[in-house]
Structure 1
């Protein structure tokens, strides 16, 4: 029995199951291509940006902007483009960017969740309708005779929809769990890269802040007093 025969014997419930399978397959293909593009480049991008940030923030920002088509590039760029802001502001910007990127990675989850929940129920509905149709033609006097052969065949055909619904749901669930695992992995990568970049920024900010304080102290030490003489000249000899 080929696929066409199975589809025709499954009844009208096979049409919504076909629609669900197309939706699930479309989401799976799109997500596989999305994750393939990310997983093959993100670690290299994060390593290059963080290495450059140890030497020069401008170079690190250029590298992050060149990888703006990747989630990790947009995430790191959110912090690097605020290089003149306070560390807390940079931290908030990176946290907001991480939440936005992780939310985008959940694209298609609702469709897969719907397919996982609805497909088995549609398959069961098709089987129940098939059983009702098959058993409705049985008379008590036909039990144990050859008249029940068609009923047995009808029952086996009714189970086609249940098997189809379960297959669609199982495959969708498998890919769904894989995608959720990849999202959890991305959250860890974002957290690790963000912590390293924030630490480097806080060190740079602290050294710059200390330089600004020292500059202000030196400027005030040589500033003239209101009498028109410098602080050193005002001291008694």
Structure 2
């Protein structure tokens, strides 16, 4: 039986099943190509960006920028492109980008879900229509005679659409579950990479804040050191006054001694 004969014997429901099978197959091929390229380059990209972040954040930013064609690259670049953000802002950028990228990875899932639900129902509809046509030609007086032999053949042909609908639905379901498992693993990859990058940035942020604080302590425009000692300012002033104090008698010039005429 050729493909054209199969379509003709399956009835009118075979044509929408054929359309659904084409849509499902094209979506599966597109998603397989997408996931294959993603899984091959993803791990290498994450390792390079995280390793660069441990040494120099500018290098890590440039490396993430070069991988913007990859979802993981866009995910890592989103917080790195910000100018010295606070850790909470850094975390929000990661979370927002992760939601967007994971949503884009679900492309085609709704189509496969529709094919999985519609294909068996269309096949069953084709079978019902075929049975109606076959049983409608039977007469009560023809039961048990050779004229009913064609009815058996008609029932068998009517079941072709049901089988075709189940095949399309099962084929789509297998790849749908595969893509769902890949998406679940991708969520774990994003979570792990995001947590490591956030931890590195928090360490960098604390170190930078500590350095800025130390530099402010060494600022020459700060008060003199005697004002930063543990002793009170009035005590220091009193001590300085004592050191510079002088008696009035010491400042008066004494007349020279008169010469002794004797």
TM range (shorter): over 0.9
Q: Whole-Å Cα distance in 1 between the matches of residues 180 and 222 of structure 2? A: 66
TM-score in terms of structure 2 length: 0.85
For the aligned residue pairs, the C-alpha RMSD in angstroms reads: 1.5
TM-score in terms of structure 1 length: 0.94
Gaps of 5+ in 1: none
Whose Rg is larger? 2
Q: Whole-Å Cα distance in 2 between the matches of residues 11 and 131 of structure 1? A: 11
1:129 aligns with 2:129: yes
Q: Whole-Å Cα distance in 2 between the matches of residues 48 and 231 of structure 1? A: 47
Q: Are 1:57 and 1:83, in contact at CA under 8 Å, matched by a contact in 2? A: no
Q: What's the secondary structure of 1:40's corresponding residue?
A: helix
Aligned partner of 2:84 in structure 1 is 84
Gaps of 5+ in 2: 228-232, 244-262
Q: Name the stretch that deviates more: 120-129 or 6-15.
A: 6-15
Q: Whole-Å Cα distance in 1 between the matches of residues 48 and 203 of structure 2? A: 19
Alpha-carbon shift at residue 81 of structure 1 (Å): 1.3
Alpha-carbon shift at residue 201 of structure 1 (Å): 0.2
Aligned partner of 2:221 in structure 1 is 223
Q: Whole-Å Cα distance in 2 between the matches of residues 47 and 6 of structure 1? A: 53
Aligned partner of 1:149 in structure 2 is 149
Alpha-carbon shift at residue 82 of structure 1 (Å): 2.1
Compared CA separation, residues 25 and 224, structure 1 to 2 (3 A) = closer
Compared CA separation, residues 71 and 151, structure 1 to 2 (3 A) = same
Q: Whole-Å Cα distance in 2 between the matches of residues 207 and 51 of structure 1? A: 18
Q: Whole-Å Cα distance in 1 between the matches of residues 83 and 113 of structure 2? A: 41
Q: Are 1:65 and 1:73, in contact at CA under 8 Å, matched by a contact in 2? A: yes
Aligned partner of 1:49 in structure 2 is 49
Alignment of 1:3-14 (within 5 A): 3-14=3-14
Q: Whole-Å Cα distance in 1 between the matches of residues 221 and 42 of structure 2? A: 52
